[in-house]
Amino acid sequence: MKIYTARQAIFNRKEHVVAYELLYRGGPENIFPQIDPHRATSKLIMRTHLNHGLALITDGKPALINFPEESILSGLPEILPTKQVMIEILETVTPSDEVYEACQKLYHQGYHLALDDFVYKAEWARFFKLVKLIKFDIQATPLSELAVLINKLKKKKNLKILAEKVETKDEFLQAKKLGFHYFQGYYFCKPEMSGHHEIDNSQAIMLGLMQECLKTELNINNITSYFERDVGLCFKLFKFINSGIFPLTQNVTSIKNALIYLGDTQTKKLILLLTSGILATNKPKELTRLAIIRARFCELMAAKAMPEYAEAGFMVGLFSLLDAMLDKPLDNLLDDLPLAPEVHAALTSDKPSRLKYILNAVIYYEKGSWYNTKRNAEMVNVTYEELTDYYQNALVWANKYNDCS
Protein backbone atom coordinates (compact mmCIF):
# COMPACT_ATOMS: atom_id res chain seq x y z
CA MET A 1 0.00 0.00 0.00
CA LYS A 2 1.22 3.50 -0.86
CA ILE A 3 0.52 6.72 0.99
CA TYR A 4 -0.25 9.95 -0.83
CA THR A 5 2.35 12.48 0.31
CA ALA A 6 2.25 16.15 -0.61
CA ARG A 7 3.88 19.13 1.02
CA GLN A 8 2.71 22.59 2.02
CA ALA A 9 5.09 25.50 2.48
CA ILE A 10 5.52 27.37 5.75
CA PHE A 11 6.61 30.99 5.35
CA ASN A 12 8.29 33.42 7.73
CA ARG A 13 7.36 37.08 7.97
CA LYS A 14 9.54 37.88 4.94
CA GLU A 15 7.63 35.23 2.93
CA HIS A 16 10.65 32.95 2.70
CA VAL A 17 9.96 29.23 2.95
CA VAL A 18 11.46 27.89 6.19
CA ALA A 19 9.84 24.43 6.36
CA TYR A 20 7.24 22.16 4.80
CA GLU A 21 4.38 20.29 6.39
CA LEU A 22 3.94 16.82 4.95
CA LEU A 23 0.32 16.19 4.01
CA TYR A 24 -0.85 12.63 3.87
CA ARG A 25 -4.46 12.74 4.92
CA GLY A 26 -7.52 14.91 4.32
CA GLY A 27 -9.88 16.35 6.90
CA PRO A 28 -12.29 14.18 8.90
CA GLU A 29 -14.76 14.22 6.02
CA ASN A 30 -12.17 13.51 3.37
CA ILE A 31 -9.66 10.89 4.47
CA PHE A 32 -8.05 8.84 1.74
CA PRO A 33 -6.91 6.14 1.95
CA GLN A 34 -9.31 4.96 4.66
CA ILE A 35 -6.75 3.62 7.12
CA ASP A 36 -5.88 4.03 10.78
CA PRO A 37 -4.01 7.35 11.42
CA HIS A 38 -1.18 5.58 13.28
CA ARG A 39 -0.68 3.20 10.39
CA ALA A 40 -0.82 6.09 7.92
CA THR A 41 1.90 7.93 9.86
CA SER A 42 4.06 4.81 9.94
CA LYS A 43 3.68 4.37 6.18
CA LEU A 44 4.49 8.02 5.58
CA ILE A 45 7.74 7.73 7.53
CA MET A 46 8.65 4.55 5.67
CA ARG A 47 8.00 6.17 2.31
CA THR A 48 9.65 9.55 2.89
CA HIS A 49 12.40 8.86 5.40
CA LEU A 50 13.42 5.24 5.01
CA ASN A 51 12.87 4.96 1.24
CA HIS A 52 13.48 8.38 -0.29
CA GLY A 53 14.76 10.59 2.50
CA LEU A 54 13.01 13.64 3.90
CA ALA A 55 15.39 16.02 2.16
CA LEU A 56 14.00 15.00 -1.24
CA ILE A 57 10.46 16.10 -0.49
CA THR A 58 11.39 19.15 1.64
CA ASP A 59 14.38 20.48 -0.33
CA GLY A 60 16.48 19.98 2.79
CA LYS A 61 14.22 22.13 4.97
CA PRO A 62 12.63 20.85 8.22
CA ALA A 63 9.52 18.69 7.86
CA LEU A 64 6.45 19.05 10.06
CA ILE A 65 4.76 15.67 10.46
CA ASN A 66 1.40 15.00 12.11
CA PHE A 67 1.41 12.38 14.87
CA PRO A 68 -1.78 10.93 16.37
CA GLU A 69 -1.88 9.83 19.98
CA GLU A 70 -1.00 6.18 19.38
CA SER A 71 2.09 7.15 17.38
CA ILE A 72 3.32 9.48 20.13
CA LEU A 73 2.78 6.91 22.87
CA SER A 74 4.46 4.16 20.86
CA GLY A 75 7.63 6.22 20.38
CA LEU A 76 7.31 6.30 16.59
CA PRO A 77 8.86 9.80 16.23
CA GLU A 78 12.11 8.51 17.72
CA ILE A 79 13.14 6.80 14.48
CA LEU A 80 13.38 10.22 12.78
CA PRO A 81 16.41 12.55 12.95
CA THR A 82 15.87 15.32 15.50
CA LYS A 83 17.20 18.10 13.27
CA GLN A 84 15.07 17.29 10.23
CA VAL A 85 11.59 17.13 11.74
CA MET A 86 9.11 18.88 13.96
CA ILE A 87 6.58 16.63 15.70
CA GLU A 88 3.04 17.96 15.27
CA ILE A 89 0.72 16.83 18.02
CA LEU A 90 -2.69 16.47 16.41
CA GLU A 91 -5.70 18.29 17.81
CA THR A 92 -7.33 14.90 18.49
CA VAL A 93 -4.64 13.97 21.05
CA THR A 94 -5.75 13.93 24.71
CA PRO A 95 -3.56 16.06 27.04
CA SER A 96 -3.17 13.19 29.50
CA ASP A 97 -0.30 12.45 31.90
CA GLU A 98 0.80 9.64 29.62
CA VAL A 99 0.96 11.92 26.59
CA TYR A 100 2.75 14.59 28.61
CA GLU A 101 5.43 12.12 29.69
CA ALA A 102 5.91 10.94 26.10
CA CYS A 103 6.26 14.54 24.92
CA GLN A 104 8.66 15.29 27.76
CA LYS A 105 10.83 12.38 26.64
CA LEU A 106 10.86 13.62 23.04
CA TYR A 107 11.71 17.13 24.23
CA HIS A 108 14.71 15.92 26.22
CA GLN A 109 15.89 13.90 23.22
CA GLY A 110 16.11 17.12 21.24
CA TYR A 111 12.90 16.95 19.20
CA HIS A 112 10.93 20.11 18.47
CA LEU A 113 7.21 19.80 19.19
CA ALA A 114 4.21 21.69 17.82
CA LEU A 115 0.53 21.82 18.76
CA ASP A 116 -1.66 21.54 15.66
CA ASP A 117 -4.99 23.37 15.14
CA PHE A 118 -4.78 24.63 18.69
CA VAL A 119 -7.85 25.65 20.68
CA TYR A 120 -7.00 26.76 24.20
CA LYS A 121 -7.84 24.46 27.09
CA ALA A 122 -6.28 24.72 30.53
CA GLU A 123 -5.11 21.10 30.33
CA TRP A 124 -2.64 22.07 27.58
CA ALA A 125 -0.96 24.87 29.55
CA ARG A 126 1.76 22.60 31.01
CA PHE A 127 2.74 21.57 27.48
CA PHE A 128 3.75 25.11 26.58
CA LYS A 129 7.21 24.69 28.10
CA LEU A 130 7.79 21.65 25.86
CA VAL A 131 6.58 23.00 22.52
CA LYS A 132 8.34 25.34 20.10
CA LEU A 133 5.35 26.11 17.90
CA ILE A 134 1.59 26.52 18.25
CA LYS A 135 -0.53 26.45 15.09
CA PHE A 136 -3.90 28.17 14.80
CA ASP A 137 -6.45 27.41 12.09
CA ILE A 138 -7.61 30.95 11.33
CA GLN A 139 -10.60 29.71 9.33
CA ALA A 140 -11.91 27.77 12.33
CA THR A 141 -10.99 30.50 14.84
CA PRO A 142 -11.05 33.99 13.28
CA LEU A 143 -8.11 36.30 13.95
CA SER A 144 -10.37 38.74 15.78
CA GLU A 145 -11.00 36.09 18.44
CA LEU A 146 -7.32 35.22 18.89
CA ALA A 147 -5.84 38.62 19.75
CA VAL A 148 -5.85 38.24 23.56
CA LEU A 149 -4.42 34.71 23.51
CA ILE A 150 -1.78 35.61 20.93
CA ASN A 151 -0.57 38.53 23.05
CA LYS A 152 -0.14 36.18 26.02
CA LEU A 153 1.69 33.54 24.00
CA LYS A 154 4.07 36.07 22.46
CA LYS A 155 5.42 36.76 25.94
CA LYS A 156 6.60 33.17 26.33
CA LYS A 157 10.26 32.72 25.54
CA ASN A 158 11.17 30.42 22.62
CA LEU A 159 7.52 29.87 21.67
CA LYS A 160 6.49 30.73 18.11
CA ILE A 161 3.00 30.94 16.64
CA LEU A 162 1.80 29.99 13.17
CA ALA A 163 -1.33 31.01 11.28
CA GLU A 164 -2.69 28.07 9.30
CA LYS A 165 -5.09 28.15 6.32
CA VAL A 166 -4.12 31.66 5.31
CA GLU A 167 -6.04 31.95 2.06
CA THR A 168 -5.77 35.64 1.09
CA LYS A 169 -3.12 38.35 1.16
CA ASP A 170 -5.33 40.37 3.53
CA GLU A 171 -5.39 37.45 5.99
CA PHE A 172 -1.60 37.20 5.76
CA LEU A 173 -1.21 40.92 6.52
CA GLN A 174 -3.71 40.79 9.40
CA ALA A 175 -1.99 37.77 10.95
CA LYS A 176 1.39 39.43 10.51
CA LYS A 177 0.11 42.59 12.23
CA LEU A 178 -1.24 40.49 15.09
CA GLY A 179 2.25 39.10 15.68
CA PHE A 180 2.29 35.66 14.08
CA HIS A 181 5.78 34.43 13.25
CA TYR A 182 4.89 31.90 10.55
CA PHE A 183 2.19 31.41 7.92
CA GLN A 184 0.78 28.44 6.05
CA GLY A 185 -1.82 28.41 3.29
CA TYR A 186 -2.33 29.14 -0.38
CA TYR A 187 -2.67 32.92 -0.20
CA PHE A 188 0.48 33.32 -2.31
CA CYS A 189 -1.14 31.39 -5.21
CA LYS A 190 -3.88 33.96 -5.65
CA PRO A 191 -3.64 37.26 -7.53
CA GLU A 192 -3.95 40.54 -5.67
CA MET A 193 -6.74 42.28 -7.56
CA SER A 194 -6.99 45.31 -5.28
CA GLY A 195 -5.77 48.42 -7.04
CA HIS A 196 -4.35 48.73 -10.54
CA HIS A 197 -1.26 46.67 -11.29
CA GLU A 198 0.75 47.75 -14.30
CA ILE A 199 2.97 45.22 -16.03
CA ASP A 200 6.51 46.65 -15.93
CA ASN A 201 8.93 46.74 -18.83
CA SER A 202 10.83 43.56 -17.92
CA GLN A 203 7.57 41.64 -17.52
CA ALA A 204 6.35 42.94 -20.88
CA ILE A 205 9.57 41.68 -22.51
CA MET A 206 9.10 38.27 -20.90
CA LEU A 207 5.50 38.10 -22.11
CA GLY A 208 6.72 38.99 -25.60
CA LEU A 209 9.29 36.18 -25.46
CA MET A 210 6.59 33.84 -24.18
CA GLN A 211 4.32 34.80 -27.08
CA GLU A 212 7.15 34.16 -29.54
CA CYS A 213 7.85 30.66 -28.25
CA LEU A 214 4.15 29.69 -28.31
CA LYS A 215 3.84 30.25 -32.06
CA THR A 216 3.23 27.19 -34.19
CA GLU A 217 6.62 27.58 -35.84
CA LEU A 218 9.52 28.93 -33.80
CA ASN A 219 11.54 31.77 -35.28
CA ILE A 220 14.95 31.12 -33.75
CA ASN A 221 16.30 34.46 -35.01
CA ASN A 222 13.54 36.40 -33.21
CA ILE A 223 14.01 34.41 -30.01
CA THR A 224 17.79 34.81 -30.15
CA SER A 225 17.39 38.60 -30.40
CA TYR A 226 15.58 38.69 -27.02
CA PHE A 227 18.54 37.03 -25.34
CA GLU A 228 21.15 39.12 -27.15
CA ARG A 229 19.56 42.30 -25.78
CA ASP A 230 19.71 41.16 -22.15
CA VAL A 231 22.96 39.92 -20.57
CA GLY A 232 21.17 38.67 -17.44
CA LEU A 233 18.69 36.69 -19.51
CA CYS A 234 21.53 35.24 -21.58
CA PHE A 235 23.35 34.14 -18.43
CA LYS A 236 20.23 32.41 -17.12
CA LEU A 237 19.78 30.64 -20.45
CA PHE A 238 23.23 29.06 -20.33
CA LYS A 239 22.83 28.23 -16.66
CA PHE A 240 19.62 26.38 -17.50
CA ILE A 241 21.19 24.57 -20.43
CA ASN A 242 23.98 23.26 -18.19
CA SER A 243 21.70 22.40 -15.25
CA GLY A 244 20.92 18.84 -16.25
CA ILE A 245 17.25 19.62 -16.84
CA PHE A 246 17.75 19.35 -20.58
CA PRO A 247 19.79 16.75 -22.47
CA LEU A 248 23.09 18.16 -23.74
CA THR A 249 25.93 16.07 -25.13
CA GLN A 250 28.16 18.74 -26.67
CA ASN A 251 29.39 22.25 -25.93
CA VAL A 252 27.44 25.19 -27.34
CA THR A 253 29.17 28.28 -28.67
CA SER A 254 26.30 30.72 -29.17
CA ILE A 255 22.72 31.41 -28.12
CA LYS A 256 21.37 30.49 -31.54
CA ASN A 257 23.46 27.32 -31.62
CA ALA A 258 22.12 26.33 -28.19
CA LEU A 259 18.48 26.83 -29.18
CA ILE A 260 18.90 24.93 -32.44
CA TYR A 261 20.61 22.08 -30.62
CA LEU A 262 17.81 21.78 -28.07
CA GLY A 263 15.10 21.61 -30.74
CA ASP A 264 11.67 23.24 -30.76
CA THR A 265 10.03 21.22 -27.95
CA GLN A 266 12.86 21.64 -25.42
CA THR A 267 13.39 25.27 -26.42
CA LYS A 268 9.74 26.05 -25.74
CA LYS A 269 9.90 24.34 -22.37
CA LEU A 270 13.12 26.11 -21.39
CA ILE A 271 11.81 29.55 -22.35
CA LEU A 272 8.52 29.03 -20.55
CA LEU A 273 10.37 28.02 -17.38
CA LEU A 274 12.78 30.90 -17.65
CA THR A 275 10.17 33.57 -18.35
CA SER A 276 7.81 32.34 -15.62
CA GLY A 277 10.52 32.72 -13.00
CA ILE A 278 11.28 36.27 -14.12
CA LEU A 279 7.60 37.24 -14.28
CA ALA A 280 7.25 36.27 -10.61
CA THR A 281 10.36 38.15 -9.44
CA ASN A 282 8.43 40.23 -6.90
CA LYS A 283 6.51 37.25 -5.52
CA PRO A 284 7.50 34.58 -2.98
CA LYS A 285 9.89 32.14 -4.66
CA GLU A 286 7.56 29.33 -3.68
CA LEU A 287 5.09 30.56 -6.31
CA THR A 288 7.53 29.85 -9.13
CA ARG A 289 8.55 26.59 -7.48
CA LEU A 290 4.93 25.47 -7.29
CA ALA A 291 4.31 26.43 -10.93
CA ILE A 292 7.30 24.31 -12.01
CA ILE A 293 6.08 21.33 -9.98
CA ARG A 294 2.59 21.70 -11.44
CA ALA A 295 3.98 21.90 -14.97
CA ARG A 296 5.99 18.70 -14.63
CA PHE A 297 3.24 16.87 -12.72
CA CYS A 298 0.65 17.76 -15.38
CA GLU A 299 3.09 16.82 -18.15
CA LEU A 300 3.68 13.36 -16.68
CA MET A 301 -0.04 12.72 -16.20
CA ALA A 302 -0.80 13.87 -19.74
CA ALA A 303 2.03 11.73 -21.16
CA LYS A 304 0.37 8.68 -19.58
CA ALA A 305 -3.24 9.60 -20.40
CA MET A 306 -2.73 11.05 -23.91
CA PRO A 307 0.91 11.21 -25.02
CA GLU A 308 0.22 13.67 -27.83
CA TYR A 309 -0.84 16.25 -25.19
CA ALA A 310 2.20 16.00 -22.91
CA GLU A 311 3.46 19.45 -23.98
CA ALA A 312 -0.03 20.89 -23.53
CA GLY A 313 -0.14 19.41 -20.02
CA PHE A 314 3.13 21.15 -19.19
CA MET A 315 1.74 24.52 -20.32
CA VAL A 316 -1.54 24.05 -18.43
CA GLY A 317 0.34 23.44 -15.19
CA LEU A 318 2.77 26.31 -15.67
CA PHE A 319 0.19 28.90 -16.75
CA SER A 320 -2.29 27.97 -14.01
CA LEU A 321 -0.48 30.42 -11.69
CA LEU A 322 0.18 33.18 -14.22
CA ASP A 323 -2.54 35.36 -12.70
CA ALA A 324 -0.87 35.17 -9.28
CA MET A 325 2.49 36.05 -10.82
CA LEU A 326 1.20 39.19 -12.52
CA ASP A 327 -1.87 40.09 -10.41
CA LYS A 328 -4.05 40.15 -13.50
CA PRO A 329 -7.16 38.09 -14.39
CA LEU A 330 -6.06 34.88 -16.08
CA ASP A 331 -8.56 35.32 -18.94
CA ASN A 332 -7.01 38.67 -19.88
CA LEU A 333 -3.46 37.37 -19.77
CA LEU A 334 -4.18 34.27 -21.82
CA ASP A 335 -6.05 36.22 -24.50
CA ASP A 336 -2.70 37.76 -25.44
CA LEU A 337 -0.98 34.38 -25.81
CA PRO A 338 -1.34 32.10 -28.86
CA LEU A 339 -2.40 29.06 -26.86
CA ALA A 340 -4.05 25.96 -28.28
CA PRO A 341 -7.83 26.01 -27.64
CA GLU A 342 -7.68 22.94 -25.38
CA VAL A 343 -5.02 24.59 -23.17
CA HIS A 344 -6.97 27.85 -22.96
CA ALA A 345 -10.18 25.97 -22.11
CA ALA A 346 -8.52 23.88 -19.38
CA LEU A 347 -7.29 27.07 -17.71
CA THR A 348 -10.37 29.27 -18.01
CA SER A 349 -13.43 27.06 -18.40
CA ASP A 350 -15.27 24.73 -16.04
CA LYS A 351 -16.18 22.51 -18.97
CA PRO A 352 -14.90 18.94 -18.42
CA SER A 353 -11.90 17.88 -20.48
CA ARG A 354 -8.97 15.55 -19.99
CA LEU A 355 -6.57 18.45 -19.46
CA LYS A 356 -8.99 19.96 -16.96
CA TYR A 357 -9.18 16.69 -15.02
CA ILE A 358 -5.38 16.56 -14.95
CA LEU A 359 -5.04 20.12 -13.65
CA ASN A 360 -7.74 19.52 -11.04
CA ALA A 361 -6.06 16.33 -9.86
CA VAL A 362 -2.73 18.14 -9.42
CA ILE A 363 -4.26 21.06 -7.50
CA TYR A 364 -6.21 18.73 -5.22
CA TYR A 365 -3.03 16.70 -4.66
CA GLU A 366 -1.20 19.84 -3.50
CA LYS A 367 -3.91 20.49 -0.93
CA GLY A 368 -4.05 16.93 0.37
CA SER A 369 -7.63 16.50 -0.85
CA TRP A 370 -7.14 12.84 -1.67
CA TYR A 371 -10.68 11.83 -2.59
CA ASN A 372 -10.95 14.61 -5.18
CA THR A 373 -7.45 13.83 -6.42
CA LYS A 374 -8.36 10.21 -7.01
CA ARG A 375 -11.70 11.05 -8.64
CA ASN A 376 -10.11 13.39 -11.22
CA ALA A 377 -7.12 11.11 -11.89
CA GLU A 378 -9.44 8.18 -12.59
CA MET A 379 -11.13 10.22 -15.32
CA VAL A 380 -7.85 10.05 -17.31
CA ASN A 381 -6.93 6.50 -16.23
CA VAL A 382 -4.02 7.52 -13.99
CA THR A 383 -3.68 5.27 -10.97
CA TYR A 384 -3.08 6.12 -7.33
CA GLU A 385 0.38 4.54 -7.46
CA GLU A 386 1.34 6.49 -10.58
CA LEU A 387 0.34 9.79 -8.97
CA THR A 388 2.73 9.36 -6.06
CA ASP A 389 5.59 8.54 -8.43
CA TYR A 390 4.79 11.50 -10.69
CA TYR A 391 4.79 13.87 -7.71
CA GLN A 392 8.20 12.63 -6.56
CA ASN A 393 9.50 13.03 -10.11
CA ALA A 394 8.13 16.58 -10.29
CA LEU A 395 9.82 17.54 -7.01
CA VAL A 396 13.19 16.25 -8.18
CA TRP A 397 12.79 17.97 -11.54
CA ALA A 398 11.81 21.28 -9.90
CA ASN A 399 14.82 21.07 -7.59
CA LYS A 400 17.09 21.14 -10.65
CA TYR A 401 15.33 24.33 -11.74
CA ASN A 402 15.85 25.86 -8.28
CA ASP A 403 19.55 25.05 -8.40
CA CYS A 404 20.07 27.14 -11.53
CA SER A 405 17.51 29.93 -11.06
pLDDT at 2: 54
Identity at 207, one-letter amino acid code: L
Query: Strands 133-137 and 112-115, how do they pair?
Result: parallel
Residues 6+ apart with CB under 8 A from 15: 183, 188, 284
CA distance 283 to 91: 32
Does 266 lie in the same domain as 177?
no
pTM (predicted TM-score): 0.85
> Which contacts (CB < 8 Å, 24+ apart) does range 151-160 have?
151/179, 153/128, 154/179, 156/128, 158/132, 159/128, 159/131, 159/132, 159/133, 159/134, 160/132, 160/133, 160/134
CA dihedral (128, 132, 137, 140) in degrees, to 10, reads 0
pLDDT at position 387 is: 92
Give domain status of residue 120, yes or no. yes
Task: Identify whether residues 207 and 131 lie together within a single domain.
Answer: no
pLDDT for the residue 29: 39
CB 9 within 8 A of CB 16: no
Residue type, 239: K
Same domain, 159 and 284: no
**CATH code for the domain in which residue 362 is found:** 1.10.3210.10
- By the 10 Å C-beta count (0-12 exposed, 13-18 middle, 19+ buried), 256 is classed as middle
- Whether residues 158 and 253 share a domain: the answer is no
Instruction: Identify whether residues 181 and 75 lie together within a single domain.
Output: yes
| 174 membership: H or E segment, kind and range | helix 169-178
pLDDT means over runs of 10, the chain (405 residues) = 75 96 58 60 65 73 92 91 92 95 97 95 94 96 92 90 95 96 93 62 81 86 84 77 66 78 83 85 90 96 96 94 91 88 95 97 92 94 90 88 62
State pLDDT tens for residues 149-173: 999 998 888 899 999 999 999 999 9
In a domain, 142, yes or no: yes
Q: Is residue 194 part of a domain?
A: no
Domain containing 314 equals 201-404
